[in-house]
Chain A
């Protein structure tokens, strides 16, 4: 689990997350979970899968996993460790034939296209690949033309500039999407509070809002942010608490 304060920062493992943020409680206030292996260099897939399994054991929502997926086998390992969907970033642009292979093997609904965008000096945008380390030459609009086709199941659009700042989403980034985008859009990067989530959700081009910044939602912060979204008319799923339903962990 990494946070970013203008640079990647190691914060702790799953136990740390549970101890400090009571993640198993927080997990009851999200619709979906996205877990990315952002290791630079050689990834330890086995260790990542073990973490994924522990996470999935107490989190009863769909889980998207990704980070460095380059083979069908790697994807299958993640799916067998509790993931429901696979996120791919660099292959969308560098190896589209591999993404097609993933879609053929696991279905369109299983593949999430993850795209990192960054503002440039001219006021435009550039797509970055390889964990944000390399810029793509093509204009985002043409590089994202696949969003008008039914190719991947969803797109996860992240602003490199806003990510980790807590200053709110970059909504102007959405102008880079093709006008007839037929793929559901998950907006990410920059959330610092519930109002930011609501602003993202209010944009008609956005289907889901994401945050990696749990630090801004300590205690019952996420629960309150969710309640407030629903009060503002957001169409979110509703479920009672375990106690309401007379359930408790381990029977």
Chain B
């Protein structure tokens, strides 16, 4: 927990809420958009709200995509992607035209399809149940299922991934959390999920 925690700021999303939740847990994170600082970080958090394409362009513009690949794939530092941050981990995103992602999770981010939703509305907004994998690090000490706060229109599916999935059902079963080696991700917002979310963030910091 003494490691330096960097929240990556690329102009997309609610840095303050993530920052405040970490502060509440006794951690002193740094908000940074500096590629060198990100590449050298021990622990990274990639939040984000908005469109996949705009977010990737913003990361690329600041050289943050390469910095993140360096820290995560080469230096094997732990990272938590939140909401759009998780989606950016994928290989591709279809929002706003196809765009390449960071490639930490194999798969493509696609919009909830009409035929899988029936009468359900897009975006998927509100608290929903997440079923975690039994030996999950992120969900350690959190009951399964537990409620977490979602707000998204695009999702990843759990198909042929090597790591531990957390699953949520909204018309279709989708990937609501993921962990594999040093890569951690949640489609929901732990910083907006009351005590369940605080516990999950605390687990990530302790991982």
| Residues of A near any B CB (own CB < 8 A) | 28, 31, 53, 56-58, 60-63, 79-84, 106-110, 150, 153-154, 182, 184, 236-242, 244-247, 249-251
> Using a CB-CB cutoff of 8 Å, which residues 7-30 of chain B contact chain A?
14-17, 20-21, 23-27
Tell me if B50 counts as interface (CB < 8 A to partner A).
yes
- In the bound assembly, the distance between CA atoms of A150 and B21 in angstroms comes to 32
The answer to the question of B161 belonging to the interface, with a C-beta cut-off of 8 Å to chain A, is: no
Verify if B169 is at the interface (C-beta below 8 Å from A): no
Cβ of B123 under 8 Å from chain A: yes
* Contact residues of B between 179 and 197, Cβ < 8 Å to A: 189, 191-197
* Choice from A150, A238, A245 contacting B198 with Cβ under 8 Å: A245
Q: Which residues of B line the A interface, CB within 8 A?
A: 1, 14-17, 20-21, 23-27, 49-51, 121-123, 125-127, 141-143, 146-147, 149, 151-153, 189, 191-199, 202
Cα distance, A247 to B22, chains bound together (Å): 12
The reply to whether A245 and B195 form a contact with Cβ atoms under 8 Å apart is yes
Number of A-B residue pairs having CB atoms within 8 Å of each other in the complex: 112
- Min CB distance A77 to B, Å, is 11
Q: A56-B17, A82-B16, A247-B25 are known contacts. Are A108 and B195 too (CB-CB below 8 A)?
A: no
B26 with A239: CB separation less than 8 A: no
Q: Across the interface, do A247 and B194 meet the contact criterion of CB distance under 8 Å?
A: no
Nearest B residue (CB) for A109: B123
* CB proximity of B76 to chain A, nearest CB, Å: 26
Q: Does the CB pair B21–A60 fall under 8 Å?
A: yes
Please give the distance in Å from B95's CB to the nearest CB on chain A: 10
Task: State in angstroms the CA–CA spacing of A239 and B128 once bound together.
Answer: 12
- Separation of A72 and B134 alpha carbons in the complex (Å): 44
Contact A61 B192 (CB under 8 A): yes
Beta-carbon nearest neighbor of A54 in chain B: B20
Cβ A245 vs Cβ B151 within 8 A: no
B152: nearest chain-A partner, CB-CB: A109
Of the residues B24, B143, B199, contact of A249 by C-beta under 8 Å: B24
Alpha-carbon distance A145/B113, docked complex (angstroms): 25
**Once the chains bind, are B195 and A240 in contact (CB under 8 Å)?**
yes
CB within 8 Å for A60 and B123 given contacts A53-B16, A250-B26: no
Contact status B198-A242, CB under 8 Å: yes
Question: Given A60, A245, A250, which contacts B192 in the complex, CB threshold below 8 Å?
Answer: A60
